[in-house]
């Protein structure tokens, strides 16, 4: 670092956070344009997307015009875009074309389940991934290392939703057990809630753990070669302490970054996995929206997922900048 600044860390940290937030805001704006472009402009005619090609041809001219006007689709695209953004800002996420329920209600009802699944999955991925990586990195190319590497590659290759289907099938086949289908909130009915959440969370968590273990292993192996680790060894610290006190904290930085990226993996992965488990969460709602070609619900959910993704990544970036001062000075 040339001319290392030694001023107290708070000002540069603030400016870093502000910079990240401004950039995040711009990203969200860009994302909104992309979402709008993909789901409103690309299909040519949204009615085709809603009714399907055959259904569309059965509609008469007048009906088409009426539907377009009802949905606010006859306005110029720019007007539609700002209408949509305005609705989102006011917290009006619109309603499904096929169901009475508004998207906001759906979020409130289904969102918590998916959030729980995501949270458990992330925690689980760290609990499983990091110890596996440590075992791997302590003795590279040993039996333990090879076994754990094999499993992490295997879990990268197994599609999560298929793994979920197998679990559901095995439970039904051998125990005649099926998780409750109706949504149950954490506070009202914790036992049912756990049964619903645990399957998707484990599948998502193990899938992520594979990424985390791979990343943490290679990062640990790199850090272990550093001088300060050699110094720690030379002064007679036992291997376990060298790893846990000296190597691990530095090796974890890229893993935290990866964890932020994996949030996307959790958000997106939960869609097919929730379908496989028939979990009444937001991912399943997304599947239904896709299945029914419900463009408006889809548009809002995709936007929402992307906002969550961007926000959490800003949080991760700030955390890393807080942990690693070198980043702030860029």
Partner 1 sequence: MTATDPDTVLPLDPAIAAARAIEPPRWRRFGRGLRNFVRRSPLSAFWGCIAALIILVAVAAPELAPYPPLKSDFRAMTKPPAAPHYFGTDQIGRDTLSRVIYGSRASLAVAMGAVLFGTTLGALWGLASGYFGGRFDLISQRIIEFLQSFPDLILAMAIAMALGAGFGTVIVAIAITRIPFGGRVIRAVVLSLKEMSYVEAARGLGASHMRMMLRHILPQCIAPYLILATTHLGVAIIIEASLGFLGVGIPPPTPTWGNMLADSLNAGLVPPWWLVLFPGCAITLTVLAFSLLGDGIRDLVDPRLRGAVSVVRGGKSAAI
| Residue 131 binding partner 1, by CB under 8 A | no
| Residue 247 binding partner 1, by CB under 8 A | no
Q: Which residues of 204-220 are buried (b: 16+ CB within 10 A; e: fewer)?
A: bbbbbbbbbbbbbbebb
The SS3 assignment for 102 reads: strand
Copy the structure tokens of residue 87. 């609705």
- Nearer of residues 48 and 194 to partner 1, judged by Cβ: 48
| Residue 35 binding partner 1, by CB under 8 A | yes
**Residues within window 136-175 making contact with partner 1, judged by CB under 8 A:** 153-154, 156-159, 161-162, 165-166, 169, 172-173
Give the shortest CB-185-to-partner 1 separation in angstroms.
25
| Residue 93 binding partner 1, by CB under 8 A | no
Q: If binding means CB under 8 A, how many residues of this protein chain bind partner 1?
A: 60
Give the shortest CB-14-to-partner 1 separation in angstroms.
19
| Residue 68 binding partner 1, by CB under 8 A | no
| Residue 222 binding partner 1, by CB under 8 A | yes
- Nearer of residues 152 and 193 to partner 1, judged by Cβ: 152
The region that residue 58 occupies, defined by phi over 0 for left and psi between -120 and 50 for alpha, beta otherwise, is: alpha
Q: Which residues of 55-87 are buried (b: 16+ CB within 10 A; e: fewer)?
A: eeeeeeeeeeeebeeebeeeeeeeebbeebeee
The SS3 assignment for 96 reads: coil
The alpha helices in 60-102, defined as continuous H runs, are 61-70, 77-89
Q: Using the rule CB under 8 A, which residue among 50, 134, 305, 312 binds partner 1?
A: 305
- Measure the CA–CA gap between 130 and 19, rounded to whole angstroms: 31
Give the shortest CB-238-to-partner 1 separation in angstroms.
28
Q: Using the rule CB under 8 A, which residue among 47, 203, 310, 312 binds partner 1?
A: 310
| Residue 179 binding partner 1, by CB under 8 A | no
- Measure the CA–CA gap between 144 and 260, rounded to whole angstroms: 28
Contact 244, 197 (CB under 8 A): no
Contact 196, 120 (CB under 8 A): no
Q: Using the rule CB under 8 A, which residue among 51, 84, 126, 265 binds partner 1?
A: 265
Q: Using the rule CB under 8 A, which residue among 261, 323, 324, 329 binds partner 1?
A: 261
- Nearer of residues 49 and 120 to partner 1, judged by Cβ: 49
Q: Which residues of 33-44 are buried (b: 16+ CB within 10 A; e: fewer)?
A: eebbeebbeeee
* Residue 38-57 contact track with partner 1, rule CB under 8 A, x = bound: xx--xx----xx---x----
DSSP 8-class letter at 325: G
The distance between the two most distant Cα atoms of the chain, rounded to a whole number of Å, is 85
Give the shortest CB-235-to-partner 1 separation in angstroms.
29
| Residue 264 binding partner 1, by CB under 8 A | yes
**Residues within window 190-219 making contact with partner 1, judged by CB under 8 A:** 211, 214-215, 218-219
Contact 139, 225 (CB under 8 A): no
| Residue 88 binding partner 1, by CB under 8 A | no
- Measure the CA–CA gap between 166 and 161, rounded to whole angstroms: 9
| Residue 119 binding partner 1, by CB under 8 A | no
Contact 150, 318 (CB under 8 A): no
Contacting residues toward partner 1, per CB under 8 A: 27-28, 30-31, 34-35, 38-39, 42-43, 48-49, 53, 153-154, 156-159, 161-162, 165-166, 169, 172-173, 211, 214-215, 218-219, 222, 254, 257-258, 261-262, 264-265, 267-269, 271-272, 275-276, 286-287, 290-291, 293, 295, 298, 302, 305-306, 309-310, 317, 320
């Amino acid at each position: 670092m040339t001319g290392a600044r030694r001023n107290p860390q708070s000002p540069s940290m603030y400016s870093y956070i502000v910079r990240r937030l401004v950039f995040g805001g711009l990203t969200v704006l860009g994302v909104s344009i992309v979402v709008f472009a993909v789901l409103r402009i690309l299909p040519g005619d949204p009615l085709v997307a809603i009714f399907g090609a055959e259904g569309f041809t059965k509609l008469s001219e007048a009906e088409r015009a009426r539907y377009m006007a009802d949905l606010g689709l006859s306005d110029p695209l720019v007007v539609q875009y700002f209408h949509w953004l305005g609705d989102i800002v006011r917290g009006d996420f619109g309603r499904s074309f096929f169901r009475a329920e508004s998207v906001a209600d759906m979020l409130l009802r289904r969102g918590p389940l998916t959030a729980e699944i995501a949270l458990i999955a992330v925690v689980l991925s760290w609990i499983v991934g990091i110890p596996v990586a440590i075992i791997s990195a302590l003795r590279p190319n040993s039996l333990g290392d090879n076994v754990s590497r094999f499993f992490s590659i295997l879990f990268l290759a197994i599609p999560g939703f298929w793994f979920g289907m197998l679990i559901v099938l095995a439970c039904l086949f051998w125990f005649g057990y099926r998780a409750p289908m109706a949504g149950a909130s954490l506070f009202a009915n914790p036992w049912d809630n756990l049964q619903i959440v645990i399957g998707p969370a484990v599948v998502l968590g193990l899938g992520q753990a594979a990424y985390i273990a791979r990343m943490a292993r290679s990062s640990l192996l790199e850090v272990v070669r550093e001088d300060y680790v050699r110094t720690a060894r030379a002064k007679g610290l036992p291997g376990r302490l060298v790893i846990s006190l000296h190597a691990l904290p530095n090796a974890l930085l890229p893993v935290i970054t990866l964890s932020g990226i994996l949030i996307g993996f959790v958000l997106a992965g939960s869609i097919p996995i929730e379908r496989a488990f028939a979990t009444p969460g937001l991912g399943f709602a997304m599947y239904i929206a896709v299945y029914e070609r419900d463009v408006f619900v889809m548009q809002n959910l995709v936007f929402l997922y992307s906002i969550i993704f961007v926000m959490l990544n800003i949080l991760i970036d700030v955390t890393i900048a807080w942990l690693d001062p070198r980043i702030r000075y860029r």
